[in-house]
């Protein structure tokens, strides 16, 4: 005869477990329908557990004075085959974890209900509730369970009504991912990802101009140690922003927050990420002192241990993507910064020399500015770039 488990019931909406106080029947007893067999105590009350059907009490697996979580098997009742069939007790009750993966329940459900029956009577879906843009509470709960950002689920094609991503779609996606090689993301990668996500909440625009690197190259030969182009750019940016601090202002609520000091970051590529050491009050520091400081920053950045003074939040940053051989890019300012300037790969290009009346070779690179368009407009960013070009054209003034 089939054995049917006696289950610890959910004795209240906030109850997760209960303690067995007393077994009120003996093993071998004939148990009637709805008969109470175990007394349990929750933190609210003493209550009795019943069996799912009549039968012979086969065994208790629970012990008195022990505490069991909701859903635990407390014992078994030997039921007649007819009762098991009549009350459909052969299948264990569906628990939350069984909802995912190959569900026997879905299969049996489909025999009695057509697919259409499940689709909210084929009723229309309100605008904005379609496709991947909509995540059901169930899907959101599952994402939370897995520690996955909602955006990461937006890449999954949905097979649900109106192209919605069902939990099953998502599980299939995860199952597919599990078959691919993967490794744990480093804390650095996760930090960069989080930072970029926060930055991307703003409308960012980029514009760029070609500049001549000749004056910088000529000037750096006069300094030992000689600063790299990124430091020239950082210094020029610092001066320009000290003149137009509103270009580096942040929009917080209905306030334009101006910077207290001109602190400029310089992006440094490190293993598995980017670190941005900050030159404090760069507008007031002489250019000649920067290379030494930068070298120290670089070393500590590689060790991922920046000195305290280089850790303060910058008001703007500089990135030299030219070192990667890249001409043009649209870098993303850090979440607390309104703009980032980029410098492209320097190369000789023909330049029309008006006075000589001919093309001359000139070392040029692209200068880009990516900015929060809520705070500054094209005109303002353009003027900032022109001023920086002017400063870089006469580096002895830096």
The single residue among 67, 80, 118, 330 that binds another protein, judged by CB under 8 A, is: 118
Q: Does 25 bind another protein (CB under 8 A)?
A: no
Sequential DSSP letters for 23-58: E-S-TT-EE-TT-EEEEEE-SS-EEEEE-SS-EEEE
Q: Does 124 bind another protein (CB under 8 A)?
A: yes
The two tokens of residue 381 are 């960013």
Site string for another protein, 169-208 (x = CB under 8 A): --x-------------------------------------
The single residue among 24, 43, 61, 108 that binds another protein, judged by CB under 8 A, is: 108
Q: Does 34 bind another protein (CB under 8 A)?
A: yes
Distance CA 65, CA 57 (A): 20
Contacts of 180 (CB under 8 A, 6+ apart): none
Sequential DSSP letters for 148-162: --HHHHTTSPP-SGG
Size of the residue set binding another protein (CB under 8 A): 59
- Cβ nearer to another protein, comparing 94 with 223: 94
CB 348 within 8 A of CB 385: no
| C-alpha closest to that of 35 among 20, 23, 44, 18 | 23
Q: Does 92 bind another protein (CB under 8 A)?
A: no
Segment interacting with another protein, rule: CB under 8 A, options 165-173, 254-262, 357-365, 374-382: 165-173
3-state secondary structure (DSSP) of residue 216: helix
The total of other beta-carbon atoms located within 10 Å of residue 264's CB is 28
- Min CB(89)–another protein separation in Å: 8
Q: Does 273 bind another protein (CB under 8 A)?
A: no
CB 7 within 8 A of CB 73: yes
- Cβ nearer to another protein, comparing 90 with 193: 90
Q: Does 209 bind another protein (CB under 8 A)?
A: no
- Min CB(275)–another protein separation in Å: 43
The total of other beta-carbon atoms located within 10 Å of residue 165's CB is 23
Angle at 380 between CA 232 and CA 339, to 5 degrees: 55
| C-alpha closest to that of 312 among 276, 273, 271 | 276
Q: Does 167 bind another protein (CB under 8 A)?
A: yes
Q: Does 161 bind another protein (CB under 8 A)?
A: yes
The two tokens of residue 343 are 């410098």
The single residue among 121, 254, 271, 308 that binds another protein, judged by CB under 8 A, is: 121
- Cβ nearer to another protein, comparing 14 with 201: 14
Distance CA 238, CA 163 (A): 50
Site string for another protein, 37-66 (x = CB under 8 A): -----x-xxxxxxxxx--------------
Q: Does 90 bind another protein (CB under 8 A)?
A: no
3-state secondary structure (DSSP) of residue 368: strand
Q: Does 12 bind another protein (CB under 8 A)?
A: yes
- Cβ nearer to another protein, comparing 80 with 323: 80
Segment interacting with another protein, rule: CB under 8 A, options 118-126, 144-152, 369-377, 386-394: 118-126
Q: Does 226 bind another protein (CB under 8 A)?
A: no
| C-alpha closest to that of 331 among 366, 306, 363, 300 | 366
Segment interacting with another protein, rule: CB under 8 A, options 159-167, 199-207, 248-256, 380-388: 159-167
Contacts of 369 (CB under 8 A, 6+ apart): 206, 207, 208, 339, 340, 341, 342, 381, 384, 385
The single residue among 65, 113, 286, 355 that binds another protein, judged by CB under 8 A, is: 113
In the complex, the residues that contact another protein under the rule CB under 8 A are 6-13, 15, 33-34, 36, 42, 44-52, 70-71, 86-89, 93-94, 99-100, 103, 105-106, 108-109, 112-113, 117-121, 123-126, 129, 136-138, 160-161, 164, 166-168, 171
């Amino acid at each position: 005869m089939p054995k049917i488990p006696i289950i610890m019931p959910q004795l209240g909406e906030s109850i997760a477990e209960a303690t067995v106080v007393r077994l009120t029947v003996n093993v071998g007893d004939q148990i009637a329908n709805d008969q109470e067999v175990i007394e349990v105590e929750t933190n609210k009350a003493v209550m009795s557990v019943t069996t799912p059907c009549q039968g012979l009490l086969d065994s208790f697996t629970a012990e008195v004075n022990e505490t069991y979580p909701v859903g635990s098997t407390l014992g078994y009742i030997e039921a007649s085959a007819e009762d098991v069939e009549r009350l459909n007790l052969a299948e264990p009750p569906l628990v939350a974890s069984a909802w995912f993966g190959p569900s026997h329940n879905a299969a049996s459900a489909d025999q009695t209900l057509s697919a259409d029956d499940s689709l909210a009577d084929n009723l229309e879906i309100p605008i904005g509730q379609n496709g991947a843009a909509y995540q059901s509470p169930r899907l959101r709960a599952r994402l939370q369970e897995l520690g996955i950002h909602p955006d990461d689920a937006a890449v999954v094609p949905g097979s649900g009504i109106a192209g919605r991503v069902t939990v099953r779609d998502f599980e299939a996606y995860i199952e597919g991912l599990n078959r691919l090689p993967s490794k744990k993301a480093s804390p650095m990668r996760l930090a960069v990802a989080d930072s970029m996500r926060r930055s991307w909440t703003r409308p960012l625009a980029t514009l760029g101009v070609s500049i001549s690197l000749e004056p910088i190259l000529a000037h750096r030969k006069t300094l030992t140690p000689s600063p790299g182009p990124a430091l020239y750019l950082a210094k020029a940016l610092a001066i320009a922003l000290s003149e137009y601090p509103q270009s580096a202002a942040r929009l917080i609520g209905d306030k334009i927050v101006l910077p207290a000091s001109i602190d400029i970051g310089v992006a440094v590529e490190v293993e598995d990420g980017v670190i941005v050491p900050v030159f404090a009050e760069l507008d007031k520091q002489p250019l000649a002192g920067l290379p030494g400081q930068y070298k120290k920053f670089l070393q500590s950045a590689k060790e991922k241990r920046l000195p305290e003074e280089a850790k303060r939040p910058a008001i703007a940053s500089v990135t030299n993507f030219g070192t990667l051989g890249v001409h043009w890019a649209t870098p993303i300012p850090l979440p607390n910064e309104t703009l980032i300037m980029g410098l492209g790969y320097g190369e000789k290009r023909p330049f029309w020399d008006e006075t000589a009346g001919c093309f001359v070779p000139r070392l040029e690179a692209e200068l880009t500015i990516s900015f929060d368009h809520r705070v500054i407009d094209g005109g303002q960013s353009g003027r900032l770039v022109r001023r920086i070009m002017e400063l870089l054209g006469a580096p002895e003034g830096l």
